[in-house]
Amino acid sequence: MLLPVADARTVRRQAGALLRRYRARLTRVVAVQALAAVAALALPWLLGDLVDAVATGTTAGYINRTGLVLVAVVLAQTLLIRYAHRDAMVLGEEIFARLREDFLSTVTHLPLSTVERAGTGDLLGRTTNDVDRVQWMLRFGVPRVLVTGATILLTIVAAFLASPVVALALLVGVPIIVVSVRRYLRVATPAYLRNSEAYARLNGVLTESVEHAATVDALDLGRRRRARTDRAVAEAWDTEVVTLRMRVSLFFWLGISFTLPVATALVWGAWLVQHGAASLGAVTTIALYAMQVRPFVSELLFWVDELQVALASLSRIFGVGLVEPDRTPSGERPGDEHVEARKVRYAYRTGQDVLHGVDLDLVPGERLAVVGPSGAGKSTLGRMLAGIHPPTGGTVTVGEVPLVDLPEEELRSHVALVTQEHHVFVGTLADNLRLARADASEEDMHEALAAVDALDWVGRLEHGLGTEVGSGGLELTPAQAQQIALARLVLLDPHTLVLDEATSLLDPRAARHLERSLSAVLSGRTVVAIAHRLHTAHDADRVAVVEDGRIVELGPHEELVASGGEYAALWRSWQQD
């Protein structure tokens, strides 16, 4: 499954809405670009007049005055071009910044269930490759398109003002340009979309192989992963070949169309001068315009190609906003803190359930440990209990209200999940902690850090909570990063907590110490701890044993050990290790 891709109409509508926010700025930039283009066009015009004047006889004073005007025009053109480029570049940066902010806002509100089904490769491709391509177009393409577009248009107007009959030579390459560009545009966007999708799949394959390298080695999947990588690379290569052939064909015909106007202007102009239909100065002016406009036409068509790449990427970026929500708040409010699962089923793929009719009634304030072999469905059950995924069948409720009927903000005030995965964001430690509660005071943050045994090492930092972390800042150890994630959980202060192997990156002694510290803080709250270390189960009020997507045993530690079932076997095996 890939995330949606916006159609051409949606891309035009959203791109238009984005640009309309900067309508006044765009108008000003175009006006300055037009003035710069007019200054550039004055040079051939003045030279053409000078040629006619010399041909009919003129004075040295006239030539000197024309030379001074030419110098003034060059200086004016230089200043106008500088400010035109500057304004256009600044505008491009601002438009891109707005696009990036809107995109990141959309990404951070995507349903996790959709992201997990789509895989990391597609979303990663959109947030990296596609954003980079649009960034290139907005930062450099938009300014240059404004410059070249204004210059070409005004050059044609100036040419026809100078001599309409000679200026017809400038249009001789237009039919070739129109036919070749139209043919190219019909196939460009679909081809670039396939190219982006191929790279998204390649990103996904490489990311999965790197992130799960230990599993690949343990299960001897190296050959299979290499074969999958080879197929993904071959697919990306094939799409590159297709887009390259399109560009080669386009630029071949464009090269011909660029040469024709100059040659035609000279031949056609010579014939007109011979028959008295045009002056030598007019022909000189038009020929200079033809030479002057060639690089601008070439550059504009280059950006037309880049625009197709950017539009394909925009359709993928805007497509993220088309993801349907996986839940709709009903407006109901929970009457109490009682969390209950009834006949819960879940399937990552249709028809392939990983949970099979699970029933679980959490007693408010209890500690429940969920144990079982890898792949049994423990983490999936934890996500159901935390409201991360809507169940395929059955319900998970809090206070008799389905979790998926609650707004996300309210849901997190009831149930929160901390997994093995964690992230340290660029900023200070205080910034990272306040992601959980924006109004947290320093005292609140110190209490949260103390609860997870992190206050000592944070206190030893020179700047304490003001220490910069993340990329470019202090690099935290995996254990420290996990402690920060757990401190965020303490600040969030929900009544029910789901810890999905939350201490797995700590060594056993540190993990046990941390969990004991958490026990004091989490007193009175409902805690579901999913762990592979059975000391967690020993300390719990009840233990749920999950196998093949079902709860096969449920009860206190002592009872399950005494019963001699699956849990007793796991306990004996763990003690022997």
Tell whether 334 is covered by a domain: no
pLDDT of residue 261: 84
Q: Do residues 202 and 343 both lie within one domain?
A: no
2 falls within a domain: no
Say if residue 102 is in the same domain as residue 228: yes
User: Does residue 343 share a domain with residue 209?
Assistant: no
Q: Are both 299 and 350 inside the same structural domain?
A: no
Residue 346: φ, ψ to 5°: -150, 140
Residue-range definition of the domain harbouring residue 535: 339-576
User: Do 344 and 277 reside in the same domain of the chain?
Assistant: no
Indicate whether 123 belongs to any domain. yes
Q: What is the C-alpha separation between 233 and 118, in angstroms, rounded? A: 19
Classified as helix, coil or strand, 348 is strand
Spatial neighbors of 159 by CB under 8 A, at least 6 apart, are 166, 167, 170, 285, 286, 289
Which of residues 320, 351, 378 is at a domain's end? 320
* Residue 355 in domain: yes
Distance separating the N- and C-terminal Cα atoms of the chain: 41
Tell whether 249 and 370 lie within a shared domain. Answer: no
User: What is the C-alpha separation between 317 and 135, in angstroms, rounded?
Assistant: 12
CA distance linking residue 451 with residue 455, whole number of Å: 8
Q: What is the CATH number of the domain that holds 106?
A: 1.20.1560.10
* Cα gap 537→554, rounded to integer Å: 11
pLDDT at 504: 56
Rounded Cα–Cα distance for residues 120 and 127 (Å): 11
* Count of domains forming the chain: 2
**pLDDT at position 521:** 60
Alpha helix segments (H runs only) across 57-111: 60-108
For residue 484, what is the domain's CATH number?
3.40.50.300
In this prediction, the residues of the chain whose per-residue pLDDT falls under 50 are: none
Q: Identify the three-state secondary structure at position 261.
A: helix
The pLDDT assigned to 512 comes to 60
Same domain, 308 and 413: no
Q: 368 pairs with which residues across the strands?
A: 528, 542
In the prediction, which pLDDT does 170 show? 82
**Residue 269: inside a domain:** yes
pLDDT tens, residue by residue, 419-431: 767 788 889 999 9
For tokens 């990983």, what's the residue? Answer: 354
Q: Which residues pair with 429 in a beta bridge?
A: none
Q: Which of 320, 350, 375 is the last residue of a domain?
A: 320
Domain contains 329 = no
3-state helix, strand, coil in the chain (%, to 5): 65, 10, 20
Q: Which of 267, 289, 320 marks a domain boundary?
A: 320
Q: What is the pLDDT of residue 433?
A: 92
- pLDDT, residue 32, reads 80
Please name the residue that has the structure tokens 């189960």: 537
For residue 343, the surrounding DSSP H or E stretch is strand 339-349
Same domain, 165 and 103: yes
State both tokens at 553.
Answer: 């045993």
Query: Is 294 in the same domain as 384?
Result: no
**Residue 325 domain-assigned (yes or no):** no
Q: Are residues 113 and 24 part of one domain?
A: yes
- The answer to the question of residue 326 being in a domain is no
Q: Are residues 132 and 210 in the same domain?
A: yes
Look at residue 445 in the predicted model and tell me its pLDDT: 92
Say yes or no: 132 and 237 in one domain: yes
Q: Could you report the per-residue pLDDT of 343-395, keeping only the tens digit for each?
A: 999 988 778 888 998 999 998 888 898 988 878 888 889 888 988 888 889 99
Tokens of 360: 């679980």
